[in-house]
């Protein structure tokens, strides 16, 4: 077990190009203080003996920033005078993105099992109520199920690029009324909308994006998991993975949105505005992401958690999966029953949502 990994080891075992699994992303979270023991996200790594792979997780003393909600489980523990925290949670902090929980060039079940065995020994020995792996890759579902984890289903909304050449070709595939609505929503007289990526990104962009992020936090009375230092760090170290979109009025920035991307996907993350303009949220958070996805021939646009309103704008309901293990036998059984019932509800919800897709 280790509390940190060197850049050399990380870069040598990093799977694929997912920007959130980069050393730079984790390092920005750590250096900015966004994660760490003081933030309730204590990193823990289990490294294979030949340093060819690792499993990452976090010691958590809360459930903030996870997007697969277990607050009701924690409350049930509290009502029975039991401690739900600390727990172990493996996911990308504050980032509801499906990704590998093992750092290895390609998934090897034998190696993964060795890492999970070391992890399980630590979990059983420690004072943890539960173990969680959120936003599983498809090949991980059976793996964790075979290790006695309960599999939970949830819903996200993804835009799938069916080889659309450009935004207009995408609109042609929609029902006429829906396409007309989107065209109307993209009209912003008096505003200029500009996209920046790679070397176009500056520290001024980072500062403004942080201000927009905070405006959303204030408007939603939410919690600011990230600080200005984090944005400055990633706008410096992750230029090749960031798309920043900014709306200006009379030369002054009034709104912005932040995306990450790799060679297959674009991921919507944060947005904010200093003054309200109708439909500007849709433009900066969805249509600009779709446009970038199509122009760069990316396969999928993951626009983040929640939001049934995304259906009308071409996003599809997608099942996502997580794995959970509860130490307390009675609670383990109760949660298993809950997950089975929830699974039925998810099935019905996806069927109903799919009937509302705007395509011809």
For residue range 268-314, list pLDDT tens digits in order. Answer: 999 999 999 999 999 999 999 999 999 999 999 998 877 889 999 99
pLDDT in the model for residue 305: 78
- Provide the number of structural domains found in the chain: 2
> Which pTM was predicted?
0.96
- How many Å from the N-terminal Cα to the C-terminal Cα in the chain? 53
16 within some domain: yes
Banded model confidence at residue 319, pLDDT cuts 50, 70, 90: very high
The enclosing H or E element of 326 equals: strand 316-326
The Cα 340–Cα 140 span in angstroms is 19
Instruction: Tell whether 107 and 51 lie within a shared domain.
Output: yes
Instruction: Tell whether 168 and 152 lie within a shared domain.
Output: no
The count of other CB atoms within 10 Å of the CB of residue 349 is 14
Q: What's CA 322's distance to the chain center, in Å?
A: 13
309 within some domain: no
Instruction: Tell whether 198 and 280 lie within a shared domain.
Output: yes
Instruction: Tell whether 237 and 326 lie within a shared domain.
Output: no
145 within some domain: yes
Instruction: Tell whether 204 and 267 lie within a shared domain.
Output: yes
232 within some domain: yes
Instruction: Tell whether 15 and 103 lie within a shared domain.
Output: yes
Instruction: Tell whether 46 and 121 lie within a shared domain.
Output: yes
Domain that holds residue 69: 7-156+317-354
310 within some domain: no
**Residue 181 is part of a domain; what is its CATH number?**
3.40.630.30
269 within some domain: yes
pLDDT in the model for residue 211: 98
307 within some domain: no
**Residue 350 is part of a domain; what is its CATH number?**
3.40.630
Q: What DSSP designation does 45 have? A: E
> Got the DSSP string for 76-112?
HHHHTT----SEEEES-TT------SEESSS--HHHH
């Amino acid at each position: 077990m280790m509390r940190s990994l060197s850049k050399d080891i990380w870069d040598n075992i990093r799977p694929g190009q997912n920007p959130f699994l980069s050393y730079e992303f984790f390092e920005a979270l750590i250096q900015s203080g966004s994660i760490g023991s003081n933030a309730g996200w204590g990193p823990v790594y289990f490294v294979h003996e030949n340093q060819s792979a690792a499993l990452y997780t976090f010691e958590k003393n809360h459930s903030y920033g996870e997007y697969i909600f277990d607050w009701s489980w924690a409350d049930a523990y509290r009502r029975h005078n039991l401690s739900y925290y600390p727990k172990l949670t493996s996911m990308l902090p504050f980032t509801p993105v499906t990704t590998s929980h093992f750092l290895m060039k390609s998934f090897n079940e034998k190696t993964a099992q060795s890492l999970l065995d070391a992890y399980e020994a630590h979990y059983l020995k420690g004072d943890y109520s539960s173990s969680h792996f959120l936003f599983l890759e498809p090949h991980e579902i059976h793996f964790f199920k075979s290790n006695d984890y309960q599999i939970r289903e949830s819903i996200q909304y993804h835009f799938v690029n069916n080889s659309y050449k450009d935004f207009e070709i995408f609109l042609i595939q929609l029902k006429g009324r829906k396409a007309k609505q989107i065209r109307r929503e993209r009209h912003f007289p008096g505003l200029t909308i500009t996209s920046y990526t790679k070397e176009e990104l500056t520290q001024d962009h980072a500062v403004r994006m942080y201000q927009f992020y905070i405006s959303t936090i204030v408007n939603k009375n939410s919690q600011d998991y990230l600080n200005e230092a984090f944005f400055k760090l990633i706008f410096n170290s992750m230029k090749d993975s960031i798309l920043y979109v900014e709306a200006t009025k009379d030369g002054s920035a009034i709104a912005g949105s932040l995306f990450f991307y790799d060679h297959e996907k674009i991921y919507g993350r944060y947005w904010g505005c200093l003054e309200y303009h109708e439909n500007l949220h849709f433009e900066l958070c969805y249509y600009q992401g779709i446009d970038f996805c199509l122009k760069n021939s990316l396969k999928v646009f993951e626009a983040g958690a929640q939001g049934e309103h995304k259906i009308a704008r071409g996003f599809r309901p997608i099942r996502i999966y997580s794995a959970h293990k509860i130490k307390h036998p009675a609670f383990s059984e109760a949660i298993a029953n809950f997950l089975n019932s929830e699974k039925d509800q998810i099935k019905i919800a996806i069927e109903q949502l799919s009937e509302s897709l705007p395509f011809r």
